[in-house]
């Protein structure tokens, strides 16, 4: 009997160990940020054990990590049902990223109930989440009505080189321009207004936080009188990405401090004639979101504005929005049924109201930062494709893996078609020179090209459909 019990216990322990290994592997993949691999393992675990709270939690977290918030909801809700308190926090955050205040409030209450049931204290993150919810609720009451005429997805590291400005708006440089100050100087972006003797950037202060700084540019090109602007611009966080209007007093910048709704938000402030810096004001939506939003530039001569955001983007990518600034702020009605969509910028076409964006963007005075001065080099895009109001120029712009694969197949097929077309041109030239023996190959090649073009359309539609 003892031998039977011992054997039975060994079998049970073995089963438990085998059952524990897949979730451990999946958690390891999640912690290593291999989210797509983690999703495949977790889907198999959840399929075998639908009530597994931990597996559902990590499945939802993995979906959220790749930006698929819609797919993240169901497994996180299941994890919440199974008593995983943090699932409610994640659901509240997802609701806030979709500006669903009512749902966020319900998830926070469920989080509080679960913590109370588990006899645990509410963490500081709960108060932060509630504060964020209040900020978003207040911002939704003042969403500015602006015409967004273009958007483009670019690499985050050198996003600013895609801002095309007239000389009157000033110049943007990368940190290499600061070598004149110090070989150890570093900045994300340096801004110099037109006809100004100053340049602006952000550098670490004595507390290790980024603060806005300036320096005078002397007639011989050297830089002197480097100093911080002062004022509480960081509001407990970092302050960066400065842009000054031509008046030399009004400026925009970004901070991730206490009055941000998540990541960097764009703020407005003024520098008085005596150097005093006024308290910054969050400029609200649609510019700001629970993600990073920064580097707002207004080109009054061109009648255009630019800002960058990593909302709904994969790591390393940002979207640049181009808009028509208002002379005075005009907000949407707080009762507008499409208010959340305007705040989220779900469709830029619905905001443009027939504005001729192509005419504004074709202004010959608009130029990108000089590659030689900015330390960057231009390269031709692999393609240019508009999807949901955004311009895709590289495979890495696609968030959906299937869409990326379809586009890769499209590019390969397009290259093959170009080679076939070159062959057809050669055959036709030979035929024109009297070689009648190529006539059949010409007909065959023409059919291949027609079929290839139909196939290209199908591949491109598949890529767009998958990305949507």
Instruction: Tell me the CATH number at 43.
Output: 1.25.40.10
State the residue for tokens 């500015």: 144
Same-domain check for residues 442 and 462: yes
Q: E strands along 337-417, which residues?
A: 385-387, 390-392
Q: Is residue 237 part of a domain?
A: yes
Same-domain check for residues 167 and 287: yes
The pLDDT value recorded for residue 99 is: 95
Same-domain check for residues 294 and 173: yes
Distances from the Cα of 415 to the Cα of 20, 383, 409, 427, 453, angstroms: 48, 12, 10, 19, 12
Distance (Å, whole) CA 150 – CA 380:
19
- pLDDT tens digits, 94-119: 999 999 999 999 999 999 999 999 99
- pLDDT tens digits, 345-404: 998 888 987 788 888 988 888 887 754 344 443 444 556 676 766 677 777 777 787 888
Per-residue pLDDT at 432 exceeds 60: yes
The conformation of residue 282, written as its DSSP 8-state character, comes to E
The H or E element containing residue 267 is strand 265-270
- Which of 124, 140, 156 terminates a domain? The answer is 140
Q: What percent of the chain has pLDDT over 70?
A: 88
Contact present, 50 and 66 (Cβ < 8 Å): no
Q: Is residue 178 part of a domain?
A: yes
The values of phi and psi at residue 326, to 5°, are: -85, 145
The pLDDT value recorded for residue 370 is: 53
Instruction: Answer with the residue of higher pLDDT: 324 or 427.
Output: 324
The pLDDT value recorded for residue 431 is: 67
> Of the ranges 33-42, 413-422, 428-437, 439-448, which is most confident?
33-42
Contact present, 280 and 304 (Cβ < 8 Å): no
Same-domain check for residues 372 and 263: yes
The H or E element containing residue 452 is helix 439-467
Domain that holds residue 423: 402-467
Per-residue pLDDT at 4 exceeds 60: no
State mean pLDDT over 62-90.
92
- Which of 348, 383, 418 terminates a domain? The answer is 383
Per-residue pLDDT at 185 exceeds 80: no
**Domain total for the chain?**
3
Same-domain check for residues 300 and 281: yes
Contact present, 185 and 199 (Cβ < 8 Å): no
Same-domain check for residues 162 and 261: yes
The pLDDT value recorded for residue 180 is: 67
Q: Is 106 exposed, middle or buried (0-12, 13-18, 19+ CB in 10 A)?
A: middle
The pLDDT value recorded for residue 40 is: 94
Q: In which band, very low, low, confident or very high, does the pLDDT at 52 lie, cut at 50, 70 and 90?
A: very high
Instruction: Answer with the residue of higher pLDDT: 146 or 434.
Output: 146
Q: How does the average pLDDT of the chain come out, rounded?
A: 85
Q: Is residue 388 part of a domain?
A: no
Give the residue from 280, 285, 306, 271 showing the smallest Cα distance to 189: 306
Q: Is residue 396 part of a domain?
A: no
Peptide bond into 389 cis (omega under 30): no
Per-residue pLDDT at 61 exceeds 70: yes
> Of the ranges 46-60, 307-321, 345-359, 392-406, which is most confident?
46-60
State mean pLDDT over 234-244.
96
Q: Is residue 300 part of a domain?
A: yes
Same-domain check for residues 153 and 131: no
Per-residue pLDDT at 257 exceeds 70: yes
Least confident of 165-169, 368-372, 409-413, 419-423: 368-372
Same-domain check for residues 211 and 342: yes
Same-domain check for residues 180 and 66: no
The values of phi and psi at residue 338, to 5°, are: -100, 15
Q: In which band, very low, low, confident or very high, does the pLDDT at 13 lie, cut at 50, 70 and 90?
A: very low
Distance (Å, whole) CA 346 – CA 341:
5
State mean pLDDT over 199-221.
88
């Amino acid at each position: 009997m003892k031998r039977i019990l011992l054997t039975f216990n060994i079998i049970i322990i073995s089963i438990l160990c085998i059952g524990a290994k897949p979730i451990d592997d999946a958690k390891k993949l999640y912690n290593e940020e291999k989210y797509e691999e983690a999703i495949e393992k977790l889907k198999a675990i959840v399929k075998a054990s639908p009530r597994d709270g931990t597996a559902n939690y990590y499945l939802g977290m993995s979906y959220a990590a790749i930006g698929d918030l819609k797919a993240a909801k169901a497994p996180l809700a299941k994890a919440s049902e199974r008593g995983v308190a943090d699932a409610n926090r994640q659901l509240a955050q997802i609701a806030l990223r979709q500006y669903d205040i009512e749902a966020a409030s319900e998830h926070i209450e469920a989080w509080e109930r679960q913590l109370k049931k588990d006899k645990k204290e509410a963490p500081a993150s709960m108060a932060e989440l509630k504060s964020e919810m209040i900020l978003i609720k207040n911002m939704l009451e003042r969403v500015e009505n602006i015409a967004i005429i273009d958007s483009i997805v670019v690499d985050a590291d050198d996003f600013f080189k895609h801002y095309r400005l007239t000389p009157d708006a000033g110049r943007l440089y990368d940190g290499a321009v600061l070598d004149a100050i110090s070989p150890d100087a570093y900045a994300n972006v340096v801004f110099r207004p037109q006809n100004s003797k100053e340049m602006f950037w952000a550098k670490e202060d004595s507390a290790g936080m980024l603060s806005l700084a300036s320096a005078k540019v002397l007639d011989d090109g050297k830089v002197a009188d480097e100093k911080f602007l002062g004022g509480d611009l960081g509001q407990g966080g970092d302050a960066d990405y400065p842009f000054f209007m031509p008046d030399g007093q009004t400026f925009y910048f970004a901070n991730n401090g206490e009055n941000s709704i998540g990541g960097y938000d764009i703020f407005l402030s003024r520098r008085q004639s005596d150097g005093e810096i006024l308290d910054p004001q969050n400029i609200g939506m649609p510019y700001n979101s629970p993600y990073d939003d920064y580097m707002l530039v207004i080109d009054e001569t061109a009648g255009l504005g630019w800002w960058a955001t990593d909302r709904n983007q994969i790591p390393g990518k940002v979207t640049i929005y181009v808009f028509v600034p208002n002379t005075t702020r005009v907000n949407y009605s707080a009762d507008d049924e499409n208010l959340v969509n305007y705040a989220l910028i779900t469709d830029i076409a619905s905001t443009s109201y027939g504005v001729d964006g192509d005419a504004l963007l074709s202004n010959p005075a608009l130029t990108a930062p000089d590659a030689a001065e900015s330390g960057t080099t231009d390269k031709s895009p692999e393609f240019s494709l508009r999807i949901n109001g955004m311009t895709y120029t590289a495979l890495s712009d696609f968030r959906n893996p299937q869409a990326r694969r379809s586009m890769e197949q499209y590019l390969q097929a397009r290259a093959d078609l170009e080679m076939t077309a070159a062959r057809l041109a050669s055959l036709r030239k030979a035929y024109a020179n009297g070689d009648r023996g190529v006539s059949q190959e010409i007909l065959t090649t023409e059919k291949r090209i027609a079929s290839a073009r139909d196939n290209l359309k199908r591949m491109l539609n598949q890529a767009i459909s998958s990305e949507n």
